[in-house]
């Protein structure tokens, strides 16, 4: 799959508290030693390049944080993103309250090794781009100290079947404190990924959650024209579909690395995820060529079966760019430490 990436805000935290990597579960509770992080992600598309901006939030403490995110392709650059973009997008869709994306903490529910394509450090984050099947990425994550949730093997396979590219991020809290990073302060990451169609991984938002646990997320798309979306269930709601305001576009263009946004504006779609984790078995497929979105991209069909075009009544539109923000997602997160016996 070489699709435009629209990655949700919620990154998949595959972690546990320091010392909790024990065989028995007494010191670890999926609802206990973990924090809910609110993070924001923007993915935009212009001239065949996906621009993906996400923020990893430092929540204090002496441990480290980690996450793994499926990607639709191999990034050509990984760099620090602007500080303003995610906050501005969040404010655009929550104009009443003073949204501060990535800053809020709340309690919440939580073979062979993969090929390393790229490694870089941004602030206190160690970023690794991986290529491999689900088992290989899982093995890499395990070898690098991530504690994978029990549903991770199936979910990693679910994504690797369509795109074998993943991003792993380790947040070194000690390094963050050393450089004076405040609790709640996010580190925005900007990836540029050549792709040809939009795609939003949603199923991974339920990783590590019980089937009945709720997954709530805000998904924002910015496209040059009104996109066609595949909305497979009432757990994914299209709340807004409109031309992005001049103020939003101007503000976004003013931030670091955001000049790829066309001056003449973009279409804003706002989708809300409100679903039981067990029902969130799909991703959001978007088509930029005016065709019906792919059921394979949506995770509703495998490569073995022919993809069925879906006409759900949404208008077909050509896209030159797409941006996505997913805010306020339930992230199962916590400190992790290198696995050790005992």
Partner 1 sequence: MLGRYRLPLTLALAGLLVIAWAVMVLAASGPTVPVDIKYSRFEPDEFRFKAGQEVTFVIFNDDPIDHEFILGDQAVQDGHELGTEAHHGSIPTEVSVPAGATVETTITFDRPGELIIGCHLPGHYAYGMKAIVTVR
The footprint of partner 1 on residues 280-309 (CB under 8 A) is none
The answer to whether the beta carbons of residues 210 and 109 sit under 8 Å apart is yes
**Matching residue, tokens 């016996």:** 341
Candidates 19-27, 165-173, 216-224, 281-289; binding stretch for partner 1 (CB under 8 A): 19-27
The answer to whether the beta carbons of residues 68 and 242 sit under 8 Å apart is no
Site string for partner 1, 233-272 (x = CB under 8 A): ----------------------------------------
The footprint of partner 1 on residues 132-161 (CB under 8 A) is 134-139, 141-142, 147-154, 156-157
Q: How far is the CB of 48 from partner 1 (least distance, A)?
A: 33
Query: What is the per-residue DSSP string for 69-118?
Result: EEESS--SEEEE--SSHHHHHHHHH--SS---TT--EEE-----PPEEEE
Residues 6+ positions from 303 with CB-CB distance below 8 Å: 161, 162, 296
The residue (of 20 and 46) whose beta carbon lies closer to partner 1 is 20
Q: How far is the CB of 112 from partner 1 (least distance, A)?
A: 9
Residues 6+ positions from 237 with CB-CB distance below 8 Å: 231, 271, 272, 273, 274
Exactly one of 4, 11, 13, 28 binds partner 1 (CB under 8 A); that residue is 28
Which stretches within the chain are classed as H helix?
A: 85-93, 134-143, 152-160, 173-178, 246-254
Largest pairwise CA distance in the chain: 59
The residue (of 207 and 249) whose beta carbon lies closer to partner 1 is 207
Candidates 22-30, 89-97, 176-184, 298-306; binding stretch for partner 1 (CB under 8 A): 22-30
The residue (of 96 and 341) whose beta carbon lies closer to partner 1 is 341
The residue (of 13 and 199) whose beta carbon lies closer to partner 1 is 13
* Extended beta strands in 125-232, E state: 125-131, 165-172, 186-194, 198-200, 214-223, 228-230
Read off φ and ψ for residue 63, nearest 5 degrees: -90, -160
CA distance 60 to 333: 12
The residue (of 64 and 224) whose beta carbon lies closer to partner 1 is 64
Q: Which residues, in sequence order, are bridge partners of residue 217?
A: 273
Q: How far is the CB of 27 from partner 1 (least distance, A)?
A: 6
Cβ neighbours of 283 (radius 10 Å): 28
Query: What is the per-residue DSSP string for 146-158?
Result: ----TTHHHHHHH
Total residues contacting partner 1 by CB under 8 A comes to 35
Candidates 128-136, 188-196, 252-260, 304-312; binding stretch for partner 1 (CB under 8 A): 128-136
The footprint of partner 1 on residues 193-222 (CB under 8 A) is 208, 210
The residue (of 25 and 96) whose beta carbon lies closer to partner 1 is 25
313 touches partner 1 by CB under 8 A = no
Angle, vertex CA 177, rays to CA 174 and CA 181, nearest 5: 135
107 touches partner 1 by CB under 8 A = no
Exactly one of 1, 3, 8, 30 binds partner 1 (CB under 8 A); that residue is 30
Nearest to 188 by CA among 253, 123, 234, 263: 123
The residue (of 113 and 192) whose beta carbon lies closer to partner 1 is 113
Q: How far is the CB of 135 from partner 1 (least distance, A)?
A: 5
CA distance 104 to 203: 23
The residue (of 45 and 146) whose beta carbon lies closer to partner 1 is 146
The residue (of 162 and 209) whose beta carbon lies closer to partner 1 is 209
24 touches partner 1 by CB under 8 A = yes
Rule CB under 8 A: which residues touch partner 1? 16, 20-30, 111, 134-139, 141-142, 147-154, 156-157, 208, 210, 341-342
């Amino acid at each position: 799959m070489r699709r435009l990436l629209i990655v949700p805000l919620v990154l998949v935290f595959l972690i546990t508290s320091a010392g909790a990597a024990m065989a028995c579960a007494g010191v670890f509770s999926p609802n206990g030693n973990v924090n809910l992080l609110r993070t924001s992600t923007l993915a935009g598309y212009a001239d065949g390049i996906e621009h993906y901006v996400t923020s990893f939030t430092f929540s204090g403490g002496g441990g480290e944080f980690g996450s793994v995110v499926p990607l639709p392709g191999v990034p050509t650059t990984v760099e620090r993103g602007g500080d303003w973009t995610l906050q501005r997008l969040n404010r655009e869709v929550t104009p009443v309250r003073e949204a501060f994306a990535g800053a809020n903490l709340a309690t919440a529910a939580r073979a062979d090794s993969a090929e390393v394509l790229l490694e870089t450090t941004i602030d206190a984050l160690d970023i690794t781009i991986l290529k491999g099947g689900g088992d290989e990425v899982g093995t890499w994550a395990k070898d690098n100290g991530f504690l994978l949730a029990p549903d991770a093997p199936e979910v990693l396979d679910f994504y690797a079947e369509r795109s074998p590219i993943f991003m792993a991020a380790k947040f070194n809290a000690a390094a963050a404190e050393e450089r004076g990073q405040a609790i709640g302060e996010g580190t925005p990451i900007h990836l540029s990924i050549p792709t040809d169609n939009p795609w939003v991984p949603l199923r991974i938002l339920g990783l590590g959650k019980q089937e009945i646990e709720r997954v709530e997320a805000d998904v924002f798309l910015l496209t040059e024209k009104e996109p066609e979306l595949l909305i497979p269930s009432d757990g994914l709601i299209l709340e807004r579909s409109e031309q992005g305001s001049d103020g939003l576009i101007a503000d976004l263009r003013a931030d670091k690395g955001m000049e790829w946004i066309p001056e003449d504006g973009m279409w804003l779609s706002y989708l809300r995820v409100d679903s039981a984790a067990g029902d969130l078995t799909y991703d959001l497929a978007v088509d930029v060529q005016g065709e019906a979105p792919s059921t394979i991209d949506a995770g509703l069909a495998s490569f073995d079966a022919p993809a069925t075009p879906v006409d759900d009544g949404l208008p077909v539109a050509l896209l030159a760019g797409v941006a996505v923000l997913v805010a306020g997602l339930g992230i199962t997160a916590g400190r992790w430490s290198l696995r050790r016996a005992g």
